[in-house]
Amino acid sequence: MKISNLQKARYQYTPKLPSILEAPLENIGIKTGATTESVSDQTDLKRLFSTTYGRPVAEFVKGENPNASREVRIGVVLSGGQAPGGHNVIAGLFDAVKKGNPNSTVLGFLGGPSGILDNQTIEITPKFIDPYRNTGGFDMIGSGRTKIESDEQIEKALVTCSTLSLTAIAEQCGYQDMSAFRRLIRRHTGRPPGEHRRAHSVRAELRS
């Protein structure tokens, strides 16, 4: 692939980080403030966003992070239209995850939310991601406007999340531990994730 002089110059750029994020990961803590509230329609918004409404503002501060070196598997999905910094968002996440533990894995869902439904992923590696650094757009893994709304879609998404790694998906969903995400799966499916995954696998074999 022929690279233009402009692209060569882009590769030389180092994105600026807030000073707190330049510290070693084990020295970055999180400080939470008071709970939040919308300026209006509080009841309706709390009903629609029951797991996130009212969450406190979080701030990165100097502190301790005992989980900084934990091995994780992170899933990344892009949704909607193109954005100038889309690739660097993934690059920054990838760099931080690998800095914490080189054995950790970052997976990109291909084509936006539909990649979650169809379990279509690609592992993000240095060789794969480096050509996209400092470039705009969502070309690296693609994007889409698929919405995960119906019961069937939720079931497919939950199976994908469970199959790939509950710990990583839980982190991406904002849950602090696996037990909370298990409760989410049980609420939607009526059974724990392991049983749900096994049942889904049996149905897949029967269909084939």
Distance between CA atoms of residues 86 and 77, nearest Å:
11
- Conformation bin of residue 165: beta by default, left when phi > 0, alpha when psi is -120 to 50: left
Cβ partners under 8 Å of residue 1, min gap 6 = 131
Tokens, residue 91? 């690059």
State the average pLDDT over residues 49-78. 89
Distance between CA atoms of residues 54 and 35, nearest Å:
5
As to burial, measured by CB atoms within 10 angstroms (0-12 exposed, 13-18 middle, 19+ buried), residue 155 is middle
Given a cut of 80, whether residue 68 has pLDDT beyond it is yes
Distance between CA atoms of residues 162 and 186, nearest Å:
12
State the average pLDDT over residues 22-31. 92
Task: Look at residue 135 in the predicted model and tell me its pLDDT.
Answer: 85
DSSP-assigned beta bridge partners for residue 186: none
State the average pLDDT over residues 202-207. 39
Cβ(168)–Cβ(178) under 8 Å?
no
Distance between CA atoms of residues 95 and 128, nearest Å:
13
Given a cut of 50, whether residue 17 has pLDDT beyond it is yes
The string of pLDDT tens digits covering residues 89-120 is 889 889 988 999 999 999 998 998 899 889 99
State the average pLDDT over residues 159-186. 54
Task: Look at residue 31 in the predicted model and tell me its pLDDT.
Answer: 92
Angle between helix axes 151-164 and 178-189 (nearest 10 degrees) is 150
Domain residue limits, the chain: 14-68
Given a cut of 80, whether residue 196 has pLDDT beyond it is no
